[in-house]
Structure 1
Amino acid sequence: TPKSLLRHPRAVSPLADFTKGGFREVIDDETADTTKVTRLVFCTGKVYYSLLAEKEKLKNDTVALIRIEQLYPFPKKQVEAILKKYKKADDNVWAQEEPANMGAWEFIEKVLDKEHRLRLIGRPESGSPATGSPKFHVIREQKILDKVFLQCECPYLHDECEMACIGNRWKSFEKELAELQVDHIDSKFHSGVKPLK
């Protein structure tokens, strides 16, 4: 939940931000080297902090994390300026924790021109934002991070990851975990293994 950012050490602003300047609709990745970045990851909300932690853990310098702070009216000119700035970036994605039919994805997909079209990295479409299984939720969350930072080796993935390699039904997922006799599992475990049904 968004409460996870309450008192989060990274979710702070210096006092100068309140006295100088103004609201920024788009926040570029200030740590990114434009000569090394090959993938732009656009996002909004708390998923940014998960992405940032993973980027730092992996010491990744080929991915830039771009935050969209205002969805409407959409800051199209600012986004286009960022796309032009990263000349070596040839892969642009939208990352979100929500299923594909929720969150900002459907809006983002409509407002960007075909030449700037993003691909989605997020949970597959669902009737509910929650999976009903804490283990399955954690696996899916890690799968998003793995896909963003090109750590996912799942042979079942396509351009639009639907997480087929970990299945889409948490009840069978829990059953398969019990059959495998494991109490801890990460998203890479299923790479190269049959997709769960």
Structure 2
Amino acid sequence: MASPNALVLWEAQFGDFHNTAQCIIDQFISSGQAKWVRQNGIVLLLPHGMEGMGPEHSSARPERFLQMCNDDPDVFPKLSGDFAVHQLYDCNWIVANCSTPANYFHVLRRQILLPFRKPLIVFTPKSLLRHPEAKSSFDDMLPGTHFQQLIPDDGPAAVSPQKVKRVIFCTGKIYYELIRERKSRGMDDAVAVVRIEQLSPFPFDLVKAETDRYQNADLVWCQEEHKNQGYYDYVKPRLHTTISPTRPIWYAGREPAAAPATGNKHAHLMELQRLLDAAFNLETFPGKL
């Protein structure tokens, strides 16, 4: 707050450990502008991802941050030419889960370029640091490029959208597990995978454009977190607000649980395969969004 032109980043060793700062997050970061008309642009880097590391090293509790977001889930906003900037100005903080180095670069750069200051919460999976597919060209960071709130599918499914049978919306590193599974099943033409990189403010306009693009496809929200955790409770009403009520949206992810993750590697892999089976099963789903 004292140095608005400085890019200040606070990183937790694991996202789970941010709970020791919960009082500061609740009292100052999420509500500081509403209470005291004081903006701040602090960035919280919270390692998060189901990587088989156990319940104390897997979850940055994104559901808690998303619950404190002040956007209305039941109202489709009025769209305008500067809609994205208006969203950022009206929100109390920004929540993102970037799946590419370029988008991570742009979301940090945007913090300084904005003419105002908002806190930024970034979930940063550790496995993507060494993932061979998590890479970007320098062309994606040159002048004229920008942060992508949503990254559409750019594979064979996008070439013939009318033939796509399923659209999977996701966020974060689960994207790489999904495209690997899609390739192994030979479903590149039948299933599109869309990444929501900025969860709050929610990109209503971009999500609507994707659902309108794939008129004949089933819609699925897929997450690696348990159903009572992660992004599910946040995205559910916003997806329903964006999409026609006659078009169902299905859930593919882990079942509800008290702990953020299992501590057994074998159980972790079984849970992952189960949610991937649900995401690519064109016949049925265990639950409805």
Shift of 1:151: 7.5
Shift of 1:160: 4.1
Aligned equivalents of 2:287, 2:233: Cα separation in 1: 17
Gaps of at least 5 residues in structure 2 are: 1-50, 52-124
In structure 2, the residue matched to 1:8 is 131
Residues 5 and 66 of structure 1: is their aligned pair in 2 closer, same or farther, counting only changes over 3 Å?
A: same
Taking structure 2 as the reference length, the TM-score comes to 0.51
Taking structure 1 as the reference length, the TM-score comes to 0.74
In structure 1, the residue matched to 2:205 is 77
Aligned equivalents of 2:134, 2:211: Cα separation in 1: 25
In structure 1, the residue matched to 2:87 is none
Aligned equivalents of 1:159, 1:130: Cα separation in 2: 20
Once the two structures are aligned, what percentage of the paired residues are identical? 39
Pairing partner for 1:34 from 161, 166, 169: 161
Q: Give runs of aligned pairs for residues 1-197 of structure 1, distance below 5 A.
A: 1=51, 2-19=125-142, 20-31=144-155, 32=157, 33-60=160-187, 61-89=189-217, 91-112=218-239, 113=241, 115=245, 118-150=249-281, 158-160=286-288
Shift of 1:130: 1.4
More moved, 29-38 vs 106-115: 106-115
Q: Which amino acid aligns with 2:209?
A: A
RMSD across aligned positions (CA) = 2.0
Contact kept in structure 2, 1:26 and 1:75, CA below 8 Å: yes
In structure 1, the residue matched to 2:93 is none
Q: Which amino acid aligns with 1:56?
A: K
Aligned equivalents of 1:117, 1:25: Cα separation in 2: 23
Shift of 1:24: 0.8
Secondary structure in structure 1 of the residue aligned to 2:148: coil
Gaps of at least 5 residues in structure 1 are: 162-197
Shift of 1:137: 1.1
- Equivalent pairs, count: 157
Q: Which has the higher contact order (CA 8 A, sep 6+)?
A: 2
